Amino acid sequence: MIGKVLLVAAAAGLAVVVVASIPDILRYKRMREM
């Protein structure tokens, strides 16, 4: 049961990191095109 909780917490943390990094990725792509 604890393993499942840790897995969910890790997945949620990863999702937050990915969503937070999306604007930076878009900005990086835009800068490279210029």
pLDDT band at 34 (very low <50, low <70, confident <90, very high): confident
- Quote the CA–CA distance of 27 and 30 in Å, as a whole number: 5
Which tokens sit at 18? 């990915």
pLDDT band at 16 (very low <50, low <70, confident <90, very high): very high
Considering the entire predicted model, what is its pTM?
A: 0.56
End-to-end, the C-alpha distance of the chain in Å comes to 50
Number of separate domains in the chain: 1
* Residue range of the domain that includes 18: 1-34
Residue 1 pLDDT greater than 90, yes or no: no
